[in-house]
Amino acid sequence: MSTVLVLGANGYIGLGVSQALQRNGFSVHGVIRSEKHEKLLWQSEITPLIISKAETLFTEEKFGKILEKTSVIIDCIGLTEETDKFVQLLKDHSAERLKKKLGRLLFVFTSGIMTYGNASSETFLDENVRPEPTHSWTEKRKNFEFELVNGEFNYLDTCVIRPGFVYGKSGGGIFTDYFNPKITQDGKLSIAGSPKKRWSWVHVDDLGEAYSKVVQVGRKLVSGQLFNIANPNDYPTYDRVRIEIAKQTGWKPTTENEADSLLIEPVPQDNAGLVIFENTVMINPRKAIEVLGWEPKHLNFIEKIHLYYQSWKNLQ
C-alpha cells in the first residue's frame, strides 16, 4: 500500500482519518507540531513527523525519502493563514517530482458543510449547489475550495472533503461546550440561536473510512472533485441535540414539554462560530456513496448519545 501524510494527525478529525488509513493497510505518517503528540500517534501505529513550519517538510533532507514514497497528502487542519503558502510549496514540490519521474501527488483538503451558509433551509444540498457563506471566514474557505476544484494544477491532483458535524470518540471541540451545559438559576437549559436549525452528522470512524475510500479508488474519480460526507438520515434539530446531551450530564427538564425548559438566547454577533452555525445545512452524500462506494455504519447520533458522552467523559 502507498504512504500517506496526514497534516494535523493529532487533531480530532486528523487522528480519526489516520487511524482509518492505518486500518486499511496504508503506511501513515502523521504530521504534528510538537513531540508531546508522538506517543498518541505511535499508539495507533502511525509514524509521527514533527514539522515546525510548512517549508520544513519540503526543505529538510530527512523528509526527502518519505516524500518520494508518499502518494497522498491529506490536510485535516483546515483553512489557516499558512494554507496558501503550503499549497504553493506543494505545487513547487510536485513539479520537482515530475523531473524525478515520481508519481503525481493527491492533495486532499478538509473543508466543512457550513461553507454552504444560507444556501438552503429545507432541501438537502449536493456538491453542485453554490455556497452562500454568512461570514468572511467561510467566504474565504469557499474561494479556496473553488480554487482547488477548478484551478490549474499541472502536476498535482486535488480533492475537497466537506464533512458534516462530526461526533464519536473524544468528541471534538463542539462537545467541550455541549457537554458542559449552561443551566440558569431556575433550572432551564440556556442555548444560543435558532432551536429548530438542523445539521447533517457523521461519526468520526465513518468519516475516516470516507478518506480511505478517496485514497483507494482510481485517481480519475477523485481528482478535481468535492465530496459531501455525512449520514443521509441523521439531521436532528438543534434543540433536540442540546436537550439530549444535557440530560446525559444530569440535567432534567423543568417541565413535561422539554422545549419549555429551554432559555433561547440571541447569538452574539462577535462569536464567529455561533454566527456560522446559525444556518441549517443538510447535505446529500449520494456522490460519495455512488463514486467512492462509501457507506456510513453509524446511523444515528442521538440514539447512542449515552455512549458518546461516556466516551468523551473518560477521554478528558
pLDDT of residue 177: 85
Answer yes or no: are the C-beta atoms of 193 and 238 closer than 8 Å.
yes
pLDDT of residue 215: 96
Which whole number is the average pLDDT over 128-152? 95
Using CA atoms, how far apart are residues 214 and 165, in angstroms rounded to an integer? 19
pLDDT at 87 over 80: yes
Using CA atoms, how far apart are residues 106 and 244, in angstroms rounded to an integer? 40
Answer yes or no: are the C-beta atoms of 163 and 113 closer than 8 Å.
yes
Strands (E), 90-219: 105-110, 124-125, 156-163, 165-167, 182-183, 189-192, 201-203
Question: Is residue 270 included in any domain, yes or no?
Answer: no
| Average pLDDT for the chain | 94
pLDDT at 1 over 90: no
pLDDT of residue 52: 85
Which whole number is the average pLDDT over 96-114? 94
Question: Is residue 82 included in any domain, yes or no?
Answer: yes
pLDDT of residue 55: 87
Answer yes or no: are the C-beta atoms of 97 and 105 closer than 8 Å.
yes
pLDDT of residue 191: 96
Using left for φ > 0, alpha for ψ between -120 and 50, and beta otherwise, residue 41 falls in alpha
Structural domain including 206 reads: 3-167+200-235+280-299
Which whole number is the average pLDDT over 167-172? 87
pLDDT at 173 over 80: no
pLDDT digits (tens, 9 = 90+) for 27-47: 999 999 989 999 999 999 999
Using CA atoms, how far apart are residues 125 and 231, in angstroms rounded to an integer? 13
Q: Which residue has the cell 422545549?
A: 259
pLDDT digits (tens, 9 = 90+) for 3-27: 999 999 999 999 999 999 999 999 9
Using left for φ > 0, alpha for ψ between -120 and 50, and beta otherwise, residue 29 falls in beta
Question: Is residue 23 included in any domain, yes or no?
Answer: yes
Question: Is residue 267 included in any domain, yes or no?
Answer: no
Using CA atoms, how far apart are residues 219 and 213, in angstroms rounded to an integer? 11
C-alpha cell read off for 310: 461516556
pLDDT of residue 293: 97
Q: Which residues pair with 62 in a beta bridge?
A: none
Residues 18, 138, 178: CA angle, nearest 5 degrees: 65
6: exposed, middle or buried (Cβ count in 10 Å: 0-12, 13-18, 19+) = buried
pLDDT digits (tens, 9 = 90+) for 280-291: 999 999 999 999
Buried b (16+ CB within 10 A) or exposed e, 137-158: bbeebbebbebbbeeebebbbb
Question: Is residue 252 included in any domain, yes or no?
Answer: no
The CATH number assigned to the domain holding 20 equals: 3.40.50.720
Predicted TM-score of the model (pTM): 0.95
User: How many domains in the chain?
Assistant: 1
Question: Is residue 162 included in any domain, yes or no?
Answer: yes
Percent of the chain with pLDDT over 70: 100
* DSSP class of 289: I
Question: Is residue 175 included in any domain, yes or no?
Answer: no
Answer yes or no: are the C-beta atoms of 206 and 297 closer than 8 Å.
yes
pLDDT of residue 61: 87
Using CA atoms, how far apart are residues 282 and 299, in angstroms rounded to an integer? 15
Question: Is residue 192 included in any domain, yes or no?
Answer: no
